[in-house]
Amino acid sequence: MARRTRSAFLENRTARLKLATRKKPYTALIAPGIFLAYRRNAGPGTWSVKAQGWLKRFALADDHEDANGESVMTYWQALEKAKTLARAGEGNSEQPISVAEAIEAYEADLEMRGGRKYNATQLRLHLSDALKGKAIALLTERELRDWRAGLVKKELKPSSADRIGRSLKAALALAARNDKRITNTASWQNGLKKLPDSEVARNVILPDHTVAALVSGSYGEDAAFGLLIELLAETGARESQVFRLTPSDLQDHLTAPRLMMPTSRKGKNRKIEYRPLPISPRLAKALRQQATGRAEHAPLFDKIWNLAALFRPVVERLELGLEVTPYALRHWSIVRQLLKGLPTRVVAAHHDTSVAMIEKNYSRYIIGDPTEALTRATLLDFEKPFNLAQAA
């Protein structure tokens, strides 16, 4: 068993409190190239790790309160945490990545993949400076759970708090894939689990006449914007999918036009495939006009990072609730097809999702089960006389 590194002037609070208060930290060599640093303050001191020219603070010392192993640590706890942060067996000489740096990398990754940078920019608005500056390897389950609970206390809807939490989870997961020193993935997997009622507010099912009014009102804002909203409504596609469409994806047959809609990059499978979606001749004509002057493989629509903000004035003019966002058009499209009796598998394929997700979120609208006729044939008519002799 390896011996632990001792330090007579740092390993207990009595010795530490005898040290002079100063800005320059006191250090102890705890491994080759790795120092545990203690800064003596007027109040409780702080522990930091120093390695390869960088210094990172990670906890308070137990100078005036008992250690909890997370925010307040003893010398021995700090020693082990400093080693973990500095190397974790990887020999990495870079400073541990902070939450703010992870969000920057996440934003760059979204932009590269054609995703919504708004997921990253919105996330920054809801993080304190202290949390942004914290090393990811030091995040705890309780800390993240309390942070998201604080969002709800600030009158954010559970659905909004959960959506912001998912963005943070994605940023942290990306950082963990790139830095093997980050081993506390359970902290955000458990601390940011989906809230029980987080999907209620987003599953807004609108009547047909309201959707028609939203599309018409969007055309009043701008012709291209109106066309984009109409496309979202008619296809039920996600924003990320329609912003990847190009003029070459339009197959405008005179009587049966369709779009080759790219799949989303949701889940583990990041490979994009193309699926044909039928569209109306009217929409096909408008899309062909939109494609005029654009190269065959150029984007059909200019990217809009915060489509919901542009959509909100239309919603307000119609005196609808703020929970009505462009995503509500997708819900409407799915429910409308289910109510028309389309098989669940067809609806799922059309909307680039799974049968399980359709059944989970829209089960009360599924009326076109192909086994319905078979089941109905087994129903007994109790108004007719029942012949016991024949039954025997």
* Interval 88-113: pLDDT, tens: 544 455 667 889 999 999 988 887 77
Q: What is the CA radius of gyration of the chain?
A: 29
Instruction: In whole angstroms, give the CA distance from residue 216 to residue 225.
Output: 11
Q: What is the C-alpha to C-alpha distance for residues 245 and 239, in angstroms, rounded to an integer?
A: 10
Regions of the chain short of the pLDDT cut 50: 1, 89-91, 200-201
Beta strand pairing call for 274-278 and 54-61: unpaired
pLDDT recorded at residue 90:
47
Q: Which of 96, 121, 99, 65 is nearest to 181 (CA)?
A: 96
Residues in the chain, total? 392
pLDDT tens digits for range 269-313: 557 889 999 999 999 999 999 999 999 999 999 988 788 889 999
Supply the pLDDT for residue 33.
80
Residue-level pLDDT at 5: 80
Q: Please report the pLDDT score of residue 201 as a whole number.
A: 41
Answer whether 257's CB lies under 8 Å from 250's CB.
yes
Domains of the chain with CATH codes: 13-86 (no CATH), 99-191 (1.10.150), 208-365 (1.10.443.10)
pLDDT at position 91: 45
Q: What is the pTM of this model?
A: 0.58
CA dist., res. 36 & res. 68, Å (int): 19
Q: In what order do the strands lie in the sheet with 258-262?
A: 250-251, 258-262, 274-278
Q: Return left, alpha or beta for 271; rule: phi > 0 is left, psi -120 to 50 is alpha, else beta.
A: beta
